[in-house]
Amino acid sequence: MASEIRKYLSSGVEILKEDVNGLVAIAKPSGSRTHPNVHHTSSPKAIAPYVYDFEKECYHLPDRNALFVLHRLDAPTSGVMLVTLNEKVADAVRHAFRDRRCHKTYQAWVKKGAALPKSGIWRDTLSETRTASVLRAHRDVDGVLAETHYEIMETVRIGADSLWRFCLCPHTGRTHQLRVQCALRKCPILGDKTYGDFHWNRVLAQRIGRKDLFLRSVRIALDYHLNSQDFYFCAEQMPGDFWDLARISSR
């Protein structure tokens, strides 16, 4: 299944892992879209260069029924995503997501903001607004609950500023949730062109030569039920050398 899926994926998208049922974890690069923005169109910037069906949440393939996309990541966010060619597996995994039998872990570098405990839970109510083609989320007392567990894993100094490396585990899946919640605590994620510190984004880009968003889906683990059996799937893509800002800052 993984070798078959690989031929449908756009350049830069990698296969990480496959299970016995054909559930496949891929690594989405920063800047690649989960799907085109317009229904029944294709995009060379998407994870697969085929027409996407928003109702069925799948790509229509030239020689196969469909490539099912089981959840989404914002275009600037990199890391682990789940896909499959098997519709029954897609349904089972989506049920696991709805039943909250899935655990996602992200890592992010942020500009150090106001003092925070080493770990805790953020709870905000968020709403979405769209103007022209721009979608934004914001705090709203009448919005829906967004909940995230955070932990400060590391502190690094670059020049006169300090950065935190966060581990972020969202308990809900709201639009731009992690990016907004970090910004609300005055610790925006580096490289965030919507909610970030734009001056510091430019400074960092000049220093390391990269403009990517420093937010990555590093781990997805879930239990799903298929054909009267229970299955456990876990896939990881750790940040790697690009995220070693301690080393980068010492150059």
Short-list 1, 6, 30, 153, CA closest to 90: 1
| Helix (DSSP H) and strand (DSSP E) numbers for the chain | 5, 13
What are the C-alpha distances in Å from 188 to residues 106, 114, 159, 179, 216?
Answer: 15, 11, 18, 7, 14
Residue type, 123: R
Q: Give the Cα separation of 237 and 209 in Å (integer).
A: 22
What residues contact 3, with CB distance under 8 A and at least 6 apart? Answer: none
At 225, list the tokens. Answer: 């039920």
CB atoms closer than 10 angstroms to residue 99: 12
Annotated catalytic residue within 19, 63, 74, 223? 74
At 36, list the tokens: 């085109």
* In 19-94, beta strands by DSSP E: 24-28, 52-53, 58-59, 67-69, 78-84
Catalytic, 142? Answer no
- Where in the sequence numbering do the catalytic residues fall? 74
